[in-house]
Amino acid sequence: MIPAAIGTGGEPLLRWSYVRDNYDGPIWEALREHLVLSFTPVLLGLLIALPLGLACARWTRLYPPVLAVTSVLYAIPAIGLFVVFVAFTGLTYTTVVVPLALYTLSVLVPSVVDGLRSVPEHVRQSAVAMGFGPLRRLVQVELPIALPVVMGGLRVATVANISLVSVGALIGIGGLGQLMVTGMKWPGGAYPTPIVVAIVLIVVLALVADLVLMLVQRFLTPWERSGRVSRRAARAARTERAAEVAR
């Protein structure tokens, strides 16, 4: 529908005049709303996923039912959830934030559980043997080791949210998605510029968010980068040993 509209109208994909006239009005508004709508659910989801994931890792019987529920939630199309929530929370931010928080949850709970399961048993055992109590072991040993996997989930959830927020435009709360609606419903035929602006901003936002999270992850897990050095160390070890044998 959109390409056809572009074709018939001979309308350029991007008119800079629109950007110039609207960047500190509707465009900025939409961007701000998009940021709020995508990061609030990530934070909420993380806050709930952490204790829930910990509980699932601790009481393993809890995990299959929780996983089943989160998977089903994940399979429900966003638009469906938004519509259902309108009935409860009306046309407010909450209607978009809650379903997205649920999506975040369904990505993050498995990440937390997988992360905790990635702690090698001998490491856990040696922490116990050295006299770590359960809480200290969790905070000082297990969570740091689980962090790379959890951060991986967080990156996926964040990028997914940034893209999903636009769907909220269908109920009138969609951040940059709102610009797309504006473009599509332009009086006198579709107007591609707002749509292109929205798409570009969403992609840039997703890339920047992912990059920032990656940098945070690197900063928090310096030991993860030791792999490459490790191979170098192994090579050095081999040559050193060869030299010793030769002596």
Partner 1 sequence: MITFAGVTKRYPDGTVAVDHLDLEIPAGEITVLVGPSGCGKTTTLRMINRMVEATEGTVTVDGRNVRDVDPPTLRRGIGYVIQQAGLFPHRTILDNIATVPLLLGRDKKRARADARALMERVGLDAAFARRYPAQLSGGQQQRVGVARALAADPPILLMDEPFSAVDPIVRGGLQDEFLRLQSELEKTIVFVTHDIDEAVKLGHRIAVFQVGGKLAQYTSPDELLDAPASDFVRDFLGGERGIRRLRFAQELEAEAAAENAPGAVPAKADER
Q: Cβ atoms within 10 A of the Cβ of 214, count?
A: 13
| Shortest Å, Cβ 45 to partner 1 | 25
CA–CA dist 170, 115 (Å, integer):
36
Residue type, 106: S
Shorter beta-carbon distance to partner 1: residue 151 or 180: 151
| Shortest Å, Cβ 115 to partner 1 | 12
Shorter beta-carbon distance to partner 1: residue 200 or 233: 233
Shorter beta-carbon distance to partner 1: residue 9 or 144: 144
Is the C-alpha dihedral spanning 140, 141, 146, 151 positive or negative? positive
| Shortest Å, Cβ 58 to partner 1 | 18
Residue type, 170: L
| Shortest Å, Cβ 133 to partner 1 | 5
121 touches 139 (CB < 8 A): no
Shorter beta-carbon distance to partner 1: residue 30 or 149: 149
Shorter beta-carbon distance to partner 1: residue 92 or 230: 230
Q: For residue 41, with 0-12 CB atoms within 10 Å meaning exposed, 13-18 middle and 19 or more buried, which class applies?
A: buried
Closest CA to 148 of 200, 39, 225: 225
| Shortest Å, Cβ 56 to partner 1 | 22
Shorter beta-carbon distance to partner 1: residue 134 or 172: 134
How many angstroms separate the first and last alpha carbons of the chain?
78
| Shortest Å, Cβ 243 to partner 1 | 10
Q: Which residues contact 117 (CB under 8 A, 6 or more apart)?
A: 57
Write out the residues near partner 1 by the rule CB under 8 A: 120, 122-123, 125-133, 136, 141, 144-145, 221-223, 226-227, 229-230, 233-234, 237, 240-241, 244
Q: Which residues contact 244 (CB under 8 A, 6 or more apart)?
A: none
